[in-house]
Structure 1
Amino acid sequence: MEHRHLITFITIVKKGGFKIAADELGYAQSSVTGHIKELEEELGKPLFDRLGRKITLTQAGKDFLPFAEDIIQLYSKAKEVLNSSDDMPSGQLTIGASESIMIYWLPDIISEFMGKYPKVELVIKSLDYDNLSNQLKNGDIDVALLIELSNWKGKNLIENKLKNENLSLVKSVKKENQKKIEGTMLITEYSCSWRPAVEAYINKQGKDSILKVELPSVEAIKKYVLCGLGKSMLPHFIIKDELERNQLEEMEANVGYNSLGIYTAIHKDKWISRNLEVFLSILENKSEK
């Protein structure tokens, strides 16, 4: 049972097709088909039902999938153990981060990490919030960095709050269009962790008195606020520079809860590699400053 055959099998399941898996892995489609044929011959069972262009896992495929994932995980762990026997950590480390963390909080940490551990190959991915536990379980990411409400708990995860953060209600200091700014709320998507606090503020102000404008990213929201297109609630670390430069003005929200936390999360069954260990150590040290 070849490692590459298992990788191909899992990639087909994740991507939903042979062709897209071939593109992802850099193989010809015939090679992907060949990998699955050899794997099915070895197992003595078909792994996929092929119904025209649509493929679905057979029952044998569904039964085999968790074992294939475990084998890949063990293979990765074995390589990490061998790599970690060196004095200097090396190999790959995959970090999943929320947008705000990735843009505003993580760069300084990554710079320090790369300076100390140049042999580690970093991969930084966006978090899939609806599939966070599976991202960690399947090894798509080794660790997640995210901002959540202060009492956040994840399913099948080990969480560690690195530091507390406040949620700030801010508006532009521009004098023109203040009435429009006060009456417009620039809001995040529903999957955003602090959206409940935003909704609580809007409800307190009176829904009919606030025009909601939903934007897909915190960076877009901040730009719109700076342009005087409305007010918004954002974690303090996102807008602290603009507050210090007197480009934004902080307002009283009075929503009862505005406490957030920056968290790390790993799967409860995750083996802590040397690479992950030193990365977590840098995070802890940085958060204490």
Structure 2
Amino acid sequence: MELRQLITFKTIVEKGGFNKAAEHLGYAQSSITTHIKELEKELGRPVFDRLGKKVMLTHYGNEFLSYAIKIIELYNQSLNIDKEPQGALTLGISESLTICRIPSLLLEYKTKYPKVKLSLKSLENYDVTRSLQNGEIDIALLLEKDGWRQEELYSEKLIRERMVLISPLNVKDLSQTALYSESRCSYKSVFDEYIRHQNMDVTESLEFQSIEAIKQCVRSGLGVSLVPYFSVKEELESNKLKGEIIPQQHSSISTYLTYHKDKWLSPSIIRMIELIQNHAKTWYY
């Protein structure tokens, strides 16, 4: 079994056919066909079904694909040992982290590793596993409830966040409106638990996609919200909002660093992970 056969096999799957794989790899189509025939002969079974003009993975081919990907990644990893970080790196980040904690980290990374093409992608927590598995992002920083785990992912809790109930300064009647991040956000379930525990008389709720929008609406007197302390530290210290720190015994959220367990960690990814871990040591609780 040769590495080029595995690369050809993987490329056919990614590009959707022999012709497109040949164009991408710069081979004649006959060479692509030969690679697959040799691979299937060694494996003793077909990896593709040829159904007219369509090419589909067999059940065995689908199972074998994950092994082929791992072998190719291990080969690439061996070539990049001790190499300077370079290439593309996509970091998925929860919106509130992007605003409050990440700018200085990104500046330091870009200064140290200018050859890395760094991209950021706003992260929806419910979609993190798919985004990592499909290669849309390489690593992720997200806010999730304590104890969050996904079987396919490696996750490291960087810090347990302090939660604060924010309210407007000069409004005595808080209108009993709860302002949430969107319904699938980790904040919402923590806020709901706190509302039940405190027997808060909440009769209405509104959902927002941005924590900045929530802060502005609370300041205007629209309602109250539960958010991580780091996201409103500036507003609390400048007396733009009132804040009630939630006791530690209540449910909270944490900031997690996560990536797929089968992900090959290139030098650029390793340096980013190390930098995130170092910065996390300075994050205030």
> For this structure pair, what is the TM-score category when the shorter chain's length is used for normalisation?
0.7 to 0.9
Q: Which of structures 1 and 2 has the bigger CA Rg?
A: 2
> 2-side partners of 1:196 and 1:4: how far apart?
46
**What CA deviation, in whole Å up to 9, does each residue of 1:108-140 have, x standing for no partner?**
100111112212221222334334334334433
Q: Alignment RMSD, CA only? A: 3.7
Task: Please tell me whether residue 148 in structure 1 is matched to residue 144 in structure 2.
Answer: yes
Task: Please tell me whether residue 262 in structure 1 is matched to residue 262 in structure 2.
Answer: no
Give me the TM-score of the superposition, normalised by structure 2.
0.74
User: How far apart are 1:47 and its partner, in Å?
Assistant: 6.0
SS in 1 for 2:149: coil
Answer whether contact 1:40 1:47 (CA < 8 A) is retained.
no
Task: Please tell me whether residue 10 in structure 1 is matched to residue 3 in structure 2.
Answer: no
> 2-side partners of 1:129 and 1:3: how far apart?
32
> 2-side partners of 1:141 and 1:72: how far apart?
19
Identity %: 32
Q: Aligned partner of 1:278: which letter?
A: R
Greater helix share, structure number = 1
Q: Aligned partner of 1:158: which letter?
A: Y
Aligned to 1:278: 271
User: How far apart are 1:4 and its partner, in Å?
Assistant: 8.3
> 1-side partners of 2:69 and 2:227: how far apart?
38
Aligned to 2:41: none
> 1-side partners of 2:8 and 2:88: how far apart?
18
User: How far apart are 1:201 and its partner, in Å?
Assistant: 2.4
**What CA deviation, in whole Å up to 9, does each residue of 1:68-92 have, x standing for no partner?**
64466456535644xx43xx42222
Aligned to 1:109: 105
Task: Please tell me whether residue 122 in structure 1 is matched to residue 118 in structure 2.
Answer: yes
Answer whether contact 1:197 1:255 (CA < 8 A) is retained.
no
Answer whether contact 2:92 2:138 (CA < 8 A) is retained.
yes
User: How far apart are 1:190 and its partner, in Å?
Assistant: 2.9
SS in 1 for 2:157: strand
Give me the TM-score of the superposition, normalised by structure 1.
0.73
Given candidates 218, 222, 243, the residue that maps to 2:215 is 222
Task: Please tell me whether residue 167 in structure 1 is matched to residue 160 in structure 2.
Answer: no
SS in 1 for 2:161: strand
Task: Please tell me whether residue 185 in structure 1 is matched to residue 181 in structure 2.
Answer: no
- What are the ranges of 5 or more consecutive residues in structure 1 without an aligned counterpart? 13-17, 19-29
Gap change, CA 1:128 and 1:59, over 3 Å in 2: farther
> 2-side partners of 1:68 and 1:200: how far apart?
46
Gap change, CA 1:58 and 1:160, over 3 Å in 2: same
User: How far apart are 1:199 and its partner, in Å?
Assistant: 0.9
Q: How does 1:32-51 map to 2 (within 5 A)?
A: 38=29, 43=36
Aligned to 2:236: 243
User: How far apart are 1:166 and its partner, in Å?
Assistant: 0.7
Answer whether contact 1:128 1:135 (CA < 8 A) is retained.
no
Aligned to 2:43: none
